Amino acid sequence: MHHSSLDAPSRAAFLAQHRQLDALCDRVLEVFEAGDRAGVTTIWTEFERAITRHMDGEERRIFPSFRLVDPEAVERLLVEHSQFRRRLAELGVATDLHLARLEEVRDLVKRLRIHLSDEKAMSYRAAVSS
């Protein structure tokens, strides 16, 4: 397999993970909106792990093919990843202390969804150019 191409199975797995993260975002908002403290701790752990695992895999397996198409866009996505990692850690501490504010969680979800949408658009470009 040519290293540069975003092959169809990798792209399908990447998009499937995005759909799972999107569904998880809905559940996170539901639990925070309900104000269920035990539920918040559980779902936050799942959310943080899922996003972290996704970003790690993306940086190793997906971004190399994106970089060939648009290196500057990849730099922006990497900056966003580091912002998400920092924000997840900060909100994780706040969640443990029952201090995470709904507005902050909504803001993170909104930014995450924009990021997923930008990556999806990028994946079309990487697939056609390979």
Contact 59, 78 (CB under 8 A): yes
Cβ proximity to Fe ion, 31 vs 122, nearer residue: 122
Write down the least CB distance from residue 115 to Fe ion, Å.
6
- Dihedral sign, Cα of residue 86, residue 90, residue 96, residue 100: negative
Of 120, 63, 108, 53, the C-alpha closest to 84 is 108
Write down the least CB distance from residue 81 to Fe ion, Å.
6
Cβ proximity to Fe ion, 11 vs 119, nearer residue: 119
Write down the least CB distance from residue 86 to Fe ion, Å.
14
Cβ proximity to Fe ion, 39 vs 118, nearer residue: 118
Q: What is the DSSP string of 11-78?
A: HHHHHHHHHHHHHHHHHHHHHHHHT-HHHHHHHHHHHHHHHHHHHHHHHHHTHHHHHHH-HHHHHHHH
| Position 25 contacts Fe ion (CB under 5 A) | no
Three-class SS state of 129: helix
Taking CB atoms, the residue at the shortest distance from Fe ion is: 119
| Position 119 contacts Fe ion (CB under 5 A) | yes
| Position 109 contacts Fe ion (CB under 5 A) | no
Q: Which stretch binds Fe ion (CB under 5 A): 30-38, 51-59, 103-111, 120-128?
A: 51-59
Instruction: Report the interface residues with Fe ion, using CB under 5 A.
Output: 58, 119
